[in-house]
A and B are shown apart, each in its own frame.
Chain A
């Protein structure tokens, strides 16, 4: 395993974790932009733009882009979050040049009017699709409440109104602001010929004009409030709990990840024994989201409506107990073993390593080989985990209910 990196004169950064014994390779272009970087009028722009990036360039039509990915048998897609937009493809090593060329080219899209009009409809469909998924709605609404007044409250998909009102000119304006080369990481993982990768990326992206594209980093609020969204079309009550957590930067992320695992992993966690084992809920899990200069613990529970207040009481008790006592040594060790095993399995596939390598660099400006990541995680102590859940008071949680209940 070899790590390589370079920076082009225009600010674009290249990274590679080279593993000559891998059967495949993966390439990702990580753009440091997302919903938090949108103005209210631009709600949903980052995600809509992600779709438009696949719609062609001066050299390629939309159909060409799709066909060329499929001609290579690539496993490819993109995703947009509150703060990142990532385009990725994994291919057999023989297609390294072609896939690199294609990904670099589409990152300078034409944004043609007719493609824009069709894709606008697809985005409206995607919004409707998530309307039928209460678990997604809870997360989106709770982010909106918890971070109200801050960019992180912006809905990634936007709204029917914001998407319908957008024009290609608005999108061009956002693109120019955010897709500057200094905001882009080109990452390759697996069976990669790095020197060729660097040559190709330099050739295709070296001419991109350098621009300043800084993120406005306002302090993130964490509004502790209770919200009820009554929707009689939803049959079960869907509950979300959100509280502050360490940022992606800094040294507390392993402790935070361990805390979330002990508290709310799908198996063997505190919430599993408190809610799933006695069948008080059919789903209960806690995740840790590390974000740019901030973070959040998020617990999601789905339950029978008539048990709602009982279940909220139990979750609150568990959060309080965990904040006060922290994990036991046995719980911590089991969590470490689970995380190590999951990371190892993911790491055996280039596509699985890609996001870890990309985000480590994007947030922390560092490359950490997987074995060292696992060692760092194993070094975390009970006291460190306890200290984190106390400092970022787990009980200072915003609560949101979506379902038939009129009160919580």
Chain B
């Protein structure tokens, strides 16, 4: 079955994307706004996070309570996320509530009230989120690793720093955030049981007269990289490693995804098998692929008790490097089936599809049908993977460790 995809680029720079799914009664929206954490001014790190909190404290004619009540009454299952490039807003609900939700999002995106009275709690909540990270070492470890791995400020943690949050005022944040209220490069994707033409007509009504400047490019500095150890009297040592791979737009993307699946997808994957199943060193070990527009990384995490930490670090690093010796035909076949099957499973969810449409458009400026992805994967050979791993060797890692004792990490950089 081929998908029913739709694209409409509005003259103001906003792109509308759609996928019609006939089996469902829900409809999901994803909106990507180029106002993510990498766009926070250095002295206002955390601005995007505070701005999102503040936005939900009143927009258009509605104050905090009226806005939340309106979303709740429409059954909106909504979620906001501050990424590197984008602020993303996602909301899933019954299809019949889609248009009123779209109107609420027009207020949220275009007409936040950003009143002085609601600024302090918005900022204080972000400060508390930052403080709460100290009680979640595994999450903190992954966030800080991303910061060290990507060219600064592309991987910057969205929570900011205590001093930048404390220095922020309603006036400074409003002035900054208002400059980012623009339809340029905004992506709005919808998936579900929709009537596309009617949806476009509604979207044009609420967004068509929105105008604003193009977002400025983000200047970047070299990544910090290296090894960072943070002392904490935790029960486990939290070990996180990052190394480079190709971004979504790269012609070798499918090859890279297959390699990553062999390494870390499923309980028969190299890492899970060796580190957990054979040696019993961890409960959690895994690798996540993450891509920005031009840079991507493989982010590996393992959590273990202090007495096993050195061995866990060495074995994990060893398995990642051993991949370069090549993969078997069985592993290739398994990885292809796993990726294809997970695509079909995501294809049943309107939220997952709305997110995938928006992501495709951002990375590729087009929407990939399932059959194109399947064909791309099917074409990958054992030799392709071997060549790819030779060209992109896991030679140098960025390392972040949180725990009671330092490890010998000298092996992170290959001699």
Partners in one complex: yes
| A341 with B94, Cβ < 8 A, contacts A67-B268, A92-B344 known | yes
Count A interface residues, CB 8 Å.
69
Please choose the segment from A16-24, A194-202, A380-388, A389-397 that sits at the chain B interface, where 4 or more of its residues have CB less than 8 A away.
A16-24
Q: Is A345 touching B92 in the complex (CB atoms < 8 A)? A: yes
- Cβ of B30 within 8 Å of any chain A Cβ, yes or no, is no
User: Between A and B, how many residue pairs show CB distances below 8 Å?
Assistant: 195
Chain A residue contacts of B273, Cβ below 8 A: 63, 66
The answer on a CB contact under 8 Å between A342 and B132 is no
Interface residue? B376 (CB, 8 A):
no
User: CB-CB < 8 A to B338: which residues of A?
Assistant: 70, 73
The answer on a CB contact under 8 Å between A129 and B236 is: yes
Contact A132 B341 (CB under 8 A): no
Q: Are A119 and B68 in contact (CB under 8 A)?
A: no
List 10 A-B pairs, Cβ < 8 Å.
Answer: A92-B341, A125-B305, A129-B235, A131-B234, A132-B137, A268-B68, A277-B57, A304-B131, A341-B92, A345-B349
Minimum CB–CB distance from B58 to chain A (whole Å) comes to 11
Cβ-defined contact, B72 with A338, below 8 A: yes
Residues of B within 8 A of A (CB): 23-26, 57, 64-65, 68-69, 71-78, 92-94, 97, 120-122, 124-125, 128-129, 131-132, 134-138, 232-236, 238, 265-269, 272-273, 276-284, 303-305, 333-334, 337-342, 344-345, 347-351
Are A344 and B26 within 8 A (Cβ)? yes
- Given A235-B135, A342-B77: A267 and B121 interface contact (C-beta under 8 Å): no
> Within 8 Å of chain B (Cβ to Cβ): is A3?
no
Asked if A128 is at the interface (CB within 8 A of a chain B CB), the reply is yes
B23 touches A21 (CB 8 A): yes
Contact across chains for A125 and B350 when beta carbons are under 8 A apart: no
Check A334–B342 contact: CB distance below 8 A. no
Q: State the 3 A-B residue pairs at the shortest beta-carbon distance, nearest first.
A: A73-B341, A341-B75, A131-B235
Residues of A within 8 A of B94 (CB): 340-341, 344
Minimum CB distance partner of A330 in chain B = B69
**Does A74 touch B at the CB level, under 8 Å?**
yes
Having A66-B268, A73-B341, one finds 8 other A-B pairs with CB under 8 Å, namely: A63-B273, A73-B338, A73-B340, A92-B341, A278-B121, A281-B128, A344-B94, A348-B23
Residue of B nearest to A265 (CB): B72
Q: Which residues of B contact A121 (CB under 8 A)?
A: 280-281
Give the complex CA separation of A125 and B236 in angstroms: 8
A268 adjacent to B281 (CB under 8 Å)? no
Residue from the list A91, A234, A348 in contact with B135, Cβ < 8 A: A234
Query: Would you call A165 an interface residue if the criterion is a C-beta within 8 Å of the partner chain's C-beta atoms?
Result: no
Does chain B have a CB within 8 A of A302? Answer: yes
Q: Does A124 contact B (CB under 8 A)?
A: yes
